[in-house]
Amino acid sequence: GQIIDSEGPYRLLYCSSKGDRAGVLQELEKGVEPNLADYDKRTALHLASSEGRAEIVLLLLEKGADVNSLDRWGRTPLSDARSFGHVVICKILEDRGGIDPGAYGEVYLVKWRGTEIAAKTIRSSIASNPRVRNSFMKELGLWQKLRHPNIVQFLGVLKHSERLIFLTEYLRNGSLHDILKKKGKLDPPTAVAYALDIARGMNYLHHHRPHAIIHRDLTPSNVLQDEAGHLKVTDFGLSKIAQEKDSYSYKMTGGTGSYRYMAPEVYRRESYGKSVDVFSFALIVHEMFQGGPSNRADTAVQVADRRAYEDSRPALSSLYPEPIKALLRECWHKNPDRRPTFEEIIFRLEAIQESFQKKTVPSCCDCMIL
């Protein structure tokens, strides 16, 4: 893919994220607005704060950047600096009146018509921002229409004074992250069954009509287990509704999603398509066979950086079934066009599952079939 933000109007964002002071000054002197925002309403100040570029943060503030600009998820530059542990930048932003509205809000367990459900509150500081509110309501309108056994069921929205509360089914078994923490690596048949659940949910999103949906933050924490032991995809806070005519390629410049599961093209801020979710999926499947993430000693940003610029990938143990190894290599391929679709992944996982089932049936015995 072509890097879209190193030239043209987005050059300010690119230079800010890279810590290029001369480049930032050049753009501002050209008359580029310091509050220019990308596809996800992320400003140069958001990017510099995320990447730990203190000098650029000071420069942008001096040139009139809005310290409390909100991106489409209601995050401010201070929220980003806190998330990535940039203490110096937090201090700079706080001294200039920066606020951290936090995430959308808290999740509560409530009873609704006798059934336990999850209620997520949207903070009033976010709900009262018209831009964020409109974007949020648009996405809620979409999620109300989604119905699939491997997608967490959205139940409705309540408005309480200025606060929005949205309701989803409650899955008491927790997330795949919790399961792996408790059990360690899974046996191959269980891992493949779980992988199929995730792939079916994702295939539904990618084939959604009239517009495909890219999750963009598929991680073990965003996959929950129901009472029957099946997995369901959840947490669509970062999802992008693809409304372009070319439904394969979308452009963005912010590092959206969780770094440890991020596709290289997203980390490099290139144009991307649905296959970013396939990349994340491969890392999740790898964790199920391994019992957790690889490179645990490294920070998530270090892991993402090496994947993006050195083609680093997790090691595949000789104990993994060969068809799984082949599938993972394709799913995390550096060329997004070479990654299989979820439809193809389902077909291949079903064949692998069938081969496991054949192995468990004895080839001969003394039983008589009546």
Residue carrying structure tokens 């490179």: 295
What is the CA angle 52-55-56, rounded to 5?
80
Determine contact, residues 40/28, Cβ cutoff 8 Å.
Answer: no
Task: Name the catalytic one among 38, 40, 71, 217.
Answer: 217
DSSP 85-140: T-HHHHHHHHHTT-----SS--EEEEEETTEEEEEEEEPHHHHT-HHHHHHHHHHH
Cis preceding linkage at 210, omega within 30:
yes
Residue type, 209: R
Q: Using only the alpha carbons of the chain, give its radius of gyration.
A: 22
Residue 260 Cα distances to 99, 218, 280, 302, 314, angstroms: 27, 10, 9, 9, 11
Q: How distant is the alpha carbon of residue 320 from its chain centre? A: 26
Residue carrying structure tokens 């190894």: 325
Determine contact, residues 270/2, Cβ cutoff 8 Å.
Answer: yes
* Active-site residue, 217 included: yes
Instruction: Tell me which residues are annotated as active site.
Output: 217
